[in-house]
A and B are shown apart, each in its own frame.
Chain A
Amino acid sequence: KAGVTQTPRYLIKTRGQQVTLSCSPISGHRSVSWYQQTPGQGLQFLFEYFSETQRNKGNFPGRFSGRQFSNSRSEMNVSTLELGDSALYLCASSLWTGGGETQYFGPGTRLLVL
């Protein structure tokens, strides 16, 4: 099976803009989780979607949002970008629960905010 794919792989934006990142899970996986990884804060959980519903979210401002489509593909959106949003954004899929089972990570999207 093909692994988790994320697009785009690299992105440069300026402050105040918005950005949309995409994640395609492994075929058959219904849960998609998003993470932000930075040198200062490490790997932090953003939110998790299952069957088009957000089941859990981390401690991030409302500028960070996401959605999941009926084919389990997911997008996350960051509005009004700030310099501190520069990070590697990882998505992970799993078969069912999004947590208790193995999560399969994508390669990430590296976002640079200027």
Chain B
Amino acid sequence: AQRVTQPEKLLSVFKGAPVELKCNYSYSGSPELFWYVQYSRQRLQLLLRHISRESIKGFTADLNKGETSFHLKKPFAQEEDSAMYYCALFEPSGGSYIPTFGRGTSLIVHP
């Protein structure tokens, strides 16, 4: 069963517009949730994690346990935000974790 759902494969916005990349998860315990990003011709890298509750590059993500969501938001998109974004759930198991990544959302920010 899919545990992490990113409903949009592609999200296209204009520079300066607000952005929300959706992530819904299925997990009954206390999840470890992350957003990873892959810019063109770069490696997959961490953008932010829910436990740190910080803003990175203007992005924030709030864990909503009631709606089991961890949407990524930015009030004003920039062209350099164009990338592939992956939501990831790390489920505790045997002293470690089993990660599940969403299929990803491609964000394109037009000038």
Contact = CB atoms under 8 A, between A and B. Distances in A.
A105 B43 contact: yes
B47 to A, nearest CB: 10
Contacts of A25: none
Which of A43, A45, A92, A106 lies at the interface centre, i.e. has the most chain B CB atoms within 10 A of its CB? A43
Contact of B96 (A43, A55, A90): A55
B94 A56 contact: yes
Interface in B24-60: 32, 43-46, 49
Contact of B32 (A33, A92, A99, A106): A99
Interface residues of A, number: 25
Which of A50, A55, A100 lies at the interface centre, i.e. has the most chain B CB atoms within 10 A of its CB? A100
B43 A55 contact: no
A58 B95 CA distance: 15
B49 A43 contact: no
Contacts of A98: 96-97
Which of A42, A44, A90, A99 lies at the interface centre, i.e. has the most chain B CB atoms within 10 A of its CB? A99
A92 B32 CA distance: 17
A45 B44 contact: no
Contacts of A56: 93-94, 96-98
Contacts of A58: 98
A1 B101 CA distance: 27
A44 B103 CA distance: 10
B96 A42 contact: no
Contacts of A48: 96-97
B85 interface: no
Interface of A: 3, 31, 33, 35, 42-45, 48, 50, 55-56, 58, 90, 92, 97-100, 102-107
In order of increasing CB-CB distance, the 8 nearest A-B pairs are A99-B97, A43-B101, A55-B96, A99-B90, A105-B44, A42-B103, A102-B46, A105-B43
